[in-house]
A and B are shown apart, each in its own frame.
Chain A
Amino acid sequence: MADLSIKLAGVELRTPVLVASGTFGAGREGSYFVPVNQLGGIIVKSTTLTPWKGKPTPRMCETPSGMLNAIGIQNKGIDHFISTDLPWLLKKDATVFASIAGNTVDEYIKVADKLRTGGRGITGVEINISCPNLEDHSNMFSHSPESTTAVVAGVRKALPKAALFPKLSPNVTSLTEIAGAAIEAGADGLSLINTLFGMAIDVEHRRPKLAGVTGGLSGPAIRPVAVRAVWEVHNAFPHIPVIGQGGISTAEDALEFILAGASAVAVGTSNFVNPRSSLEVTKGIGEYMDRNHVASVAELVGSVKTEG
C-alpha cells in the first residue's frame, strides 16, 4: 500500500484527505462512521467570537447534482470549541484544523487570540473569509483584496506560528488577485473553494426556496469550477500548498484536484450522503498510486499535462 502521508505547509498529515468545514461538525457525530484518527484532518465547523444562532429555515434545498445552503454559521462560539470540542478531538488523536469566522476584522483577531492561548494541539487554522463584512456594506471579506489582506494580516499577527489557510470564495473576478493578497498577508496555504453563490425559486409560491434568499451551492455540480480554481491558483503560486475542495465524493474526484495542483483535498457535501466517503476516497487514492507505481502523493501534485 502506497504511503499516503503528506507534508502540508510544514505539517505532517496521515493522508491527503480531510473533511471540509461545516460538513463534519466537530467530529463527534461523524465518529459513528469514521475513526477520526484515520483522516488527514478535520476542518471543524467555523467558530465565531460569540455563539451565532444562524438563519431561519428552510436553510437548504436540493439542486441538480448539488445543494444550496444558507445556514448562517450556527455555532456555539470559540470558547465552547476550546473547552469542549478541541479536547475531545485531541483525545481521539484527530488532526485538527480550526476554522474561524467573523463579521469584522476585529472579531477574527479576537478569535485568533483565543486560539493562541487556548488552541494547543491544533494543526492548522482555516480562515473562513466568506462572511459578510459589516464594516463594508456586508460585502464578503474574500471579495476584495483589501479586506482579505486585513483579515489575514490580523490573524497572522495574532497567531504568528500557526499554519494559516484562508478559504477563498470563487465568486470573484480574479481569484489569483485575492490569492496573492492572502499570500502577501501571511497565508501559509489556501483552501479552495468555498461555495458558489446561488439561488433557487419555488415558482408555485413565487418565493425563494431558502429563507436566506441566496445561498451557497455545493456538491458535484461545482467540481469543475473548483478544479479550475485550484489549477489557476497553483499555476500562479506553485509553491503555495492548496487544500482542494468542492464536490469531491470519490477518489477520482480527489485525484482531479491533486493533479490540478492541490496538495491535499477535503470531502464536503458528500459527508452528508455517505458519512464514510472520506475513507473511501483515501482508499481509492492509495489504490490509484499502487496501480500507477506512485511512491508519494507529492509526485502527483500539479502533474496534469496541459501541453503536448
Chain B
Amino acid sequence: MLLTRGEVLGHKKYGEHYHSLTIVAPEVGEQVQPGQFINVLCGEGSAHILRRPFSVYRVHKRGGWASTIEIVFDIRGAGTEYLAHLRPHMMVDLVGPLGRGFALPKGRAHCLLVGGGIGAAPLFFLADDLRNDGHRVDVILGARSNRMLLNPIEVRRLASVARVVTEDGSTGEQGRVTDVLEETIERCETEIIYTCGPHPMLEAVTKIGVNRKLPVQVAVEELMACGYGVCMTCVMPLKVKKKAGAGKSRARGARTSVNADGSQADAEDEVTYARSCTEGPVFNGASVIWNGHEEPVAPDQAELSPTGLAVAHGGFEDSADEHPPPGN
C-alpha cells in the first residue's frame, strides 16, 4: 500500500464511451494483483475532496523501474472529467494497490469470467494472469448496448470461448449475461466463476454458480471514502456462521435451514458488515447478502465506487421503478 505520484504515459479511448489512462507507477505495478484497485486524487482544491477508486484494468510489468498500470473509466462527474483531460507527462496522485484481489486456482482450472459494463475492467488483468498460469479462460461480456461494452475485440482475443451479449442486441447476442451463463458453463466445463458488475448481475451469477456447486468470486463496487480500511463506509453485508458452542445457538439449532440457492442468511448465520476496501473488493459470492443492497446509488456519487458501475447498468430509471421513494 503506497501513497505515490505517477506520470501519465498515455490517454486513449476504448470505443466512444470509455477512457483509459496508463500511469507509470513502478512499485504499484510490481505489487498489484488482479481485483485490487487504486484510489486516485481527481483535481486540485477542496471542491471535491474524495479520491476516486479504480480497479486496475491492465498491468505492464517492465522490471522495477518502468511498470505501468492502466485504468479505464467513463465520465460520471467532476472527478472522472478531470482524469479524462490528463495528458502524457502530467502527474497523478494515487494510493495503491488496495484491497484483496481474486484468488487464483491452485490446480489447472477452467475459469469463466463474467463482466457487466465497465465492471469487466478487472477481469482483463485477471485473464492475463490466469492465462500466464496455464488456466483456460472463457469470458461472458455484457452491457446495456454496444457502446457500453468494454473492449469486446480484446475479449475475443483473450478467451477460449467469448460470449458477447447486449440488452438491446446492438452487438453479439441479445440478452443479459445470465441468459447465456448456464449454457456456457456446460459447454466450457467451467470449474470456477469470477465476476464483476452491478449487484443484480452479481447476485444472479452467484445463484446460478452456487446451484451448480461452483465457487463464485465477486468483485463489488461500493461507495468509499478512504479505500484503506478506516472510514467504514464501503461495507458489504456478509453472512458468517455463528460460533459453535454458544448456548443460544444450540437451542435454536433445530430450526436451521439453508435455502437451496444459499442466498439467505439462515437462523444460524450472523450478519456482519465487511469493508469492501480491505476485506474485499473480492468476496465469496455465496457469503454476500445481496438483498441488503437494493438501494440505488445517487448518480452524482457513482464515481466513488471502484469502477463506478453502481448507476450505469440498466440505468437508474429502471431501478427507480423497482424501488419507489418512501411514501409512494
A25 touches B222 (CB 8 A): no
Q: A29-B278, A65-B46, A207-B296 are in contact. Are A71 and B232 (CB under 8 A)?
A: yes
Q: A32-B228, A207-B296, A220-B49 are in contact. Are A273 and B1 (CB under 8 A)?
A: no
Q: How far is the CB of B47 from chain A (nearest CB, A)?
A: 6
Q: A29-B278, A53-B273 are in contact. Are A59 and B235 (CB under 8 A)?
A: yes
Q: Is B231 an interface residue (CB 8 A)?
A: yes
Residues of chain A within 8 A of B188, CB atoms compared: none
Q: How far is the CB of A33 from chain B (nearest CB, A)?
A: 6
Q: How far is the CB of A57 from chain B (nearest CB, A)?
A: 6
A61 touches B232 (CB 8 A): no
Residues of B in contact (CB 8 Å), total 47
Contact size range, A: 35 or more
Q: A29-B278, A62-B50 are in contact. Are A272 and B225 (CB under 8 A)?
A: yes
When C-beta atoms are compared, the residue in chain B nearest to A71 turns out to be B232
Task: Give Cα distance in the complex from A272 to B233, angstroms.
Answer: 11
Task: Give Cα distance in the complex from A71 to B297, angstroms.
Answer: 16
Q: A57-B235, A59-B233 are in contact. Are A74 and B228 (CB under 8 A)?
A: no
Residues of chain A within 8 A of B48, CB atoms compared: 62
Task: Give Cα distance in the complex from A150 to B279, angstroms.
Answer: 39
Within 8 Å by CB of B231, from A23, A56, A202, lies A23
A205 touches B49 (CB 8 A): no
A62 touches B301 (CB 8 A): yes
B225 touches A56 (CB 8 A): no
Residues of chain B within 8 A of A200, CB atoms compared: 298
Task: Supply 6 further A-B pairs (C-beta < 8 A) apart from A25-B230, A53-B272, A202-B298.
Answer: A62-B300, A71-B232, A74-B273, A204-B316, A220-B49, A274-B3
Interface residues of A (CB under 8 A from B): 22-25, 29-30, 32-33, 45, 53-54, 56-62, 64-67, 69, 71, 74, 200, 202, 204-207, 209, 211, 219-220, 249, 269, 271-276
9 contacts between A and B (CB under 8 A): A22-B230, A58-B233, A66-B49, A67-B49, A67-B225, A74-B232, A202-B299, A202-B300, A272-B51
